Chain A
Amino acid sequence: MSQTALMSILLASPLIGFLINGFRRKHHSANVSGIIASVAVFISFVAAVLFWLELQGMAPESRSILVNYGSWMNVESLSINFGFLVDPLSSLMILIITGVGFLIHVFSIGYMHHDKNVAKYFAYLNFFIFNMLILVLGDSLVTLFVGWEGVGLASYLLIGFWFTDKEKASAGMKAFITNRIGDAAFLIGMFIFFVSFGTLNIQELNALAPTVAESTWLGVATLGTLFLFIGATGKSAQIPLYVWLPDAMAGPTPVSALIHAATMVTAGVYLIIRMNPVFLAAPNTMMVIAIIGVLTVVLAASIGITQNDIKKVLAYSTVSQLGYMFLACGVGAFTAAFFHLMTHAFFKALMFLGSGSVIHAMHEEQDIRKMGGLKKYLPWTHLTFMMGWLAILGTPGFSGFFSKDEILWMSWHSPLGHWSLWALGALGATMTAFYMTRLMALTFWGKSRVPKEIHPHESSPIMLFPLVVLAILSVVGGYVGIPHVIGAILPGHPENILAGWLGNIVKPIPGITEADAAMEWTLMGVSVGLATISAFIAYTLYVNKQEAVQSFTNKIKPVYELVYKKYLVDELYFGYIINPLVRLSENIWAYIDVRFIDRCTYWAGDLMKGGGSFVRSLQNGNLQSYAMYIGLGLVLTLTFVMMR
């Protein structure tokens, strides 16, 4: 099959699914719409696999397939094509998207069973997949931007899926507008690149960028990449634009799994990896990315500790894990970033789906204080969730371990890294272990606090099947990227497959030295040790000694409240940016438009009117006044004549 046809199938299949479900949006059968949508994504998945196989068959240096559907915009030097590029990076990405996406579609069939608008739901999901594929495959920044905005749109629609609830509609709007801020910066980034390099094609940019390697703050590459990074912070929920993601949990849970954990939010990371030569040319940007990333890790993890909504905990966890990916990008460890992106997609999607299963079982109850002891009601959910838990903890042997420790190691070891980055990263890992264990403990273990009227029940097989698959992937997913040190002691010395696969895409960090194996082992031990201790503490506290937690939080109440209220960032944004802006707008409308400009026009009118009535008042019919005007006119004329 020709590549163009294959690409067409890959892209068109979800689009057609979207259209079919969109036009039959009034049907209520979850099974029919779900199957249509799932099949659409599955076809895409098959196409993705075929692409991957095709790349496998190529020589490593020439692994790239470009399908060009022709020109989109063509104005003088600006020439943008509908070009879609499959290379090792995007081929893996589309596998993840369609693979995980397919599983989540399947899960949704069960989860959305009772919803009336299920066809619309599946239409949106397919629409999302379509846009995500465009984002990933787009060969120029503009094509990428099409998907970039498209996924934002899908996200908006899905977050506000239950739009009759004002809060949920607001959450969708918040997500879209926050993303738009990033998108505006993304546009500026594109313009900078276009004006400096004359192209927006990603491969051409990657080839051209190293020629401008620079260290100033105002250089082309630095500014351009910084603006792109702002765009990425919007999409990938980093400081300062992360605020939309926790609110985005208003959407149906599978949506949170697909969009707000596994795929869309990683788009920013993907963008940076995609353009890694350009970013490497701008060390200042890299530093900013690393710092923002690690700060996000710590901030989000600390908020995660205090949250009581199962999805909110996972949301902050996602923000925090995305922070790791950015940290990795910032220190130049793009492979590690992608590796973590992939493993995170597995285990976070798993945990979100697991939480969905829990919520489903609890009849839409999301507060973990009202759960506990669900292990015996939901054995499968518990088991699979535990796999995700172990993975995110970084338990040796599970996928998260490999990816996270590689990131931590690189943040120490890389010439772009710093020990403080490692320290904060490790702190983040410790906190992660704490809040994830807390979540497990409060949800599944310990005593049941489930209200009497709720009778939890295990989900249907159609929901469990994706959980199981993802659980397996969470466990074994790490083996494609076994770090060199670990590989060296394992039997058969397995290589880092992922690094090899991405070898031609990811540029090596300039000036990197040979790894110090002993050091690496030490750091690995430290972080794993810290995580274990913290997990153990959390387990003890939340399974057995909840009173102790209570009294402790009471002691540090101000701090606890601050963290519980998410450091008041939302309030800050609303209090100091959004509300003043709205008030400002009201004022400029009232004062500038109505009171000033309109008044001015009235004044102009009144001036004419007044002038008219003044002149009219001169015509008062009094003969002597007329004579006076003659006299005055005479005086004026004479004066004028004499002044000459």
Chain B
Amino acid sequence: MILSTLVFLPVLFALILALWPQKNMIRPMALVFSLIHFAVGLIVFQDFDTSTAQLQFVEKHMWIEKFGIQYFLAMDGISFWLVQLTTFLAPLIILASWNSISEKVRGFHICFFILQSAMLGSFLAFDAILFYVFWELSLIPMYFIVGIWGGSRRIYATLKFFIYTMAGSVLMLVAIIYMMYLTQQAFGQMSSNLLDFYKLSIPFIGSDFFSMQTLLFFAFALAFAIKVPLFPLHTWLPDAHVEAPTPGSVVLAGVMLKMGTFCYMRWVLPLFPEASEYWAWIFIMLGVIGIIYGALVAMVQPDIKKLVAYSSVSHMGYIIIGLFVMNHQGLQGGLYQMLNHGISTGALFILIGMIYERTHSREISQYGGLASVLPNFTIFFFIITLSSIAVPLTNGFVGEFLILLGVYKASPWAAGFAVTGVVLGAAYMLWMFKRVFYGEKGPLVADEKHPLIDLNVREFVILVPFVIMVFVMGIFPNHFLKYSEASIDYLVKNKSSYQLTIKGEQ
């Protein structure tokens, strides 16, 4: 029951918030709820077995008998940390929205909790239809979060975000239905159980683009590529980030993008092993292009938030190449980088939100000399910057190093191009850092009428967990890697005969 609790607790919270009479209690209640949720998430630590790739905490019930659609939640090493990341970020996001969301507070928190539920559901669902429901459900609260609490061009951004993602997932739905049909062909009973999907052997002919596996592969891969987002499908991301309110950006960058990369590991790689090996070069190429392209474009952005958004494109490129080289280092690094990106980019967005609350501007050229005015803020920003540019002993390094090592093993050229991202990453982040924090005081910073105030206690409370995680993950990566080790090992070694089993069943 633990997983159902995890997934549906936020819905319950949303209900309570919706019905609670006092308006001024919404924020504290939401905070307490998210902390409870986080604590519930920690329970799985106790019983999680790191030695096996099998599914754990399984909950399986028939949902729609006729089509073999089940309510099937389970956890394995791949989803373990992502679930933790989701629940970890929640209280911090609610704290970060404390001041920045001033209107329709109740609605915001309801949206946020439903979003949590949908995201957790799509991490944990092992039934294609159930997964699809969660996957699409996650769009709706995000649509409202950006569309209601966003910036001036929020309608444009939301539409773009919504239509982009929707366009991809419709193809995926077709593919899911077709695969259900295949299960009927193969087993006589229609099923949308992912484990049944794994058992299918879908015909693959490399030279034939229209062979079934290739088509299904691309249908799934496209949906996830938009979510990741992979170059050249990324243009919704900068707009969505720029217009989204701070908490929206954090959820979007911190967790929602990971849904894309996570699903590559859960769905694409094991379901279509031959196709994903045959077509890996496309994704590696696009990933590498994304790394360099994202970094270059980030370098010339006039808007800090857009800069970070493009840096996300670059970082997500790393994850994609890590996944598609299909070896231990690449996959582990990719998974690790998902967590890193959630932590460091999430923190960056929160930091940008904090400074935006003070100055109401994100123009880099309006800043300058912030370091002498807001020293504490600068320290936090700098640490997160270091994490983002992957300085050793911060979390970013572990992920990037493992990914690049894995990629080098598979394709030295790709690694050779990808390392330029290391240089460019430092270039755009530090250049931005220099322009914002160093030098003479810019117009916004020097404004005598509105002196800037350094971090308050609430902001410290938000940022300290991030910084702790940055270093803990940088110095003790083994503790994190060991949870996914068995699953990754199984994925690498049995990629063409991937047959997950349920722990405790034969």
Spell out A's residues near B (CB within 8 Å): 25-26, 71-78, 142, 145-146, 149-150, 153, 156, 160, 163-166, 169-170, 172-173, 176-177, 180-181, 183-185, 187-188, 190-192, 194-195, 581-582, 584-586, 588-589, 592-593, 597-598, 601, 605
List CB contacts (< 8 Å) of B323-339 with chain A.
Answer: 327-329, 332-333
Question: Is the pair B235, A149 in contact by a Cβ cutoff of 8 Å?
Answer: no
A585: chain B residues within 8 A (beta carbon) = 296-297, 299-300
Beyond A75-B481, A177-B426, A597-B232, is A184–B328 a contact (Cβ under 8 Å)?
A: no
In the complex, the chain B residue whose C-beta lies closest to that of A200 is: B405
Stretch touching chain A among B34-42, B243-251, B390-398 = B390-398
A589: chain B residues within 8 A (beta carbon) = 296-297, 300-301
Question: Is the pair A601, B235 in contact by a Cβ cutoff of 8 Å?
Answer: yes
Question: Is the pair A78, B405 in contact by a Cβ cutoff of 8 Å?
Answer: yes
- B477 at interface by CB-CB < 8 Å: yes
Question: Is the pair B235, A169 in contact by a Cβ cutoff of 8 Å?
Answer: no
Question: Is the pair A170, B235 in contact by a Cβ cutoff of 8 Å?
Answer: no
List CB contacts (< 8 Å) of B291-329 with chain A.
Answer: 293, 296-297, 299-301, 327-329
Beyond A191-B404, A582-B300, A597-B232, is A164–B372 a contact (Cβ under 8 Å)?
A: yes
**Contact code string B419-433 (vs A, CB < 8 Å = 1, else 0):** 110110011001100
Question: Is the pair B299, A582 in contact by a Cβ cutoff of 8 Å?
Answer: yes
> Which of A25, A77, A145, A169 lies in contact with B434, CB distance below 8 A?
A169
Question: Is the pair B235, A593 in contact by a Cβ cutoff of 8 Å?
Answer: yes
Question: Is the pair A188, B408 in contact by a Cβ cutoff of 8 Å?
Answer: yes
B83: chain A residues within 8 A (beta carbon) = none
> Which of B164, B397, B422, B439 lies in contact with A180, CB distance below 8 A?
B422
- B440 at interface by CB-CB < 8 Å: yes
Question: Is the pair B438, A180 in contact by a Cβ cutoff of 8 Å?
Answer: no
A584: chain B residues within 8 A (beta carbon) = 296
User: In the complex, A318→B53 CA distance in Å?
Assistant: 56
Question: Is the pair B481, A581 in contact by a Cβ cutoff of 8 Å?
Answer: no
Given contacts A169-B438, A184-B419, A597-B234, 5 further A-B contacts (CB under 8 A): A76-B489, A142-B392, A146-B392, A164-B439, A173-B431
- B401 at interface by CB-CB < 8 Å: yes
Question: Is the pair B415, A150 in contact by a Cβ cutoff of 8 Å?
Answer: no
A169: chain B residues within 8 A (beta carbon) = 434, 438-439
A/B interface sample: 27 pairs, CB < 8 A:
A25-B375, A150-B391, A150-B392, A153-B386, A160-B438, A163-B439, A164-B372, A164-B438, A164-B439, A164-B440, A169-B434, A169-B438, A172-B434, A177-B427, A180-B422, A180-B426, A184-B420, A184-B423, A187-B401, A191-B405, A191-B409, A191-B415, A584-B296, A585-B297, A593-B235, A601-B164, A601-B235
How far does the Cβ of A19 sit from chain B's closest Cβ, in whole Å?
Answer: 12
In the complex, the chain B residue whose C-beta lies closest to that of A82 is: B475
List CB contacts (< 8 Å) of B351-409 with chain A.
Answer: 369, 371-372, 375, 386, 391-393, 397-398, 401-402, 404-405, 408-409
In the complex, the chain B residue whose C-beta lies closest to that of A601 is: B235
- B478 at interface by CB-CB < 8 Å: yes
> Which of A73, A181, A191, A588 lies in contact with B481, CB distance below 8 A?
A73
B369: chain A residues within 8 A (beta carbon) = 164
Question: Is the pair A74, B478 in contact by a Cβ cutoff of 8 Å?
Answer: yes
**Contact code string B58-92 (vs A, CB < 8 Å = 1, else 0):** 00000000000000000000000000000000000
User: In the complex, A420→B135 CA distance in Å?
Assistant: 69
How far does the Cβ of A193 sit from chain B's closest Cβ, in whole Å?
Answer: 11
In the complex, the chain A residue whose C-beta lies closest to that of B301 is: A589
Question: Is the pair B402, A75 in contact by a Cβ cutoff of 8 Å?
Answer: yes
4 smallest CB-CB distances across A and B, nearest first, come from: A169-B438, A191-B408, A76-B328, A146-B392
User: In the complex, A169→B329 CA distance in Å?
Assistant: 37
Beyond A71-B478, A191-B415, is A598–B423 a contact (Cβ under 8 Å)?
A: no
Question: Is the pair B439, A188 in contact by a Cβ cutoff of 8 Å?
Answer: no
B371: chain A residues within 8 A (beta carbon) = 163
- B503 at interface by CB-CB < 8 Å: no
Beyond A163-B371, A584-B296, is A183–B422 a contact (Cβ under 8 Å)?
A: yes
Question: Is the pair B439, A184 in contact by a Cβ cutoff of 8 Å?
Answer: no
User: In the complex, A475→B62 CA distance in Å?
Assistant: 86
Question: Is the pair B402, A73 in contact by a Cβ cutoff of 8 Å?
Answer: yes
Among B234, B371, B402, B438, the one with the most A-chain Cβ atoms within 10 Å of its Cβ is B438
Question: Is the pair A588, B422 in contact by a Cβ cutoff of 8 Å?
Answer: no
B297: chain A residues within 8 A (beta carbon) = 585, 588-589, 593
> Which of B333, B391, B409 lies in contact with A149, CB distance below 8 A?
B391
Question: Is the pair B296, A588 in contact by a Cβ cutoff of 8 Å?
Answer: yes
How far does the Cβ of B356 sit from chain A's closest Cβ, in whole Å?
Answer: 22
Among B160, B301, B439, the one with the most A-chain Cβ atoms within 10 Å of its Cβ is B439
How far does the Cβ of B440 sit from chain A's closest Cβ, in whole Å?
Answer: 6
User: In the complex, A190→B477 CA distance in Å?
Assistant: 19
A183: chain B residues within 8 A (beta carbon) = 422-423
In the complex, the chain B residue whose C-beta lies closest to that of A70 is: B478
How far does the Cβ of B200 sit from chain A's closest Cβ, in whole Å?
Answer: 29
A188: chain B residues within 8 A (beta carbon) = 408, 415-416, 419
In the complex, the chain B residue whose C-beta lies closest to that of A195 is: B409
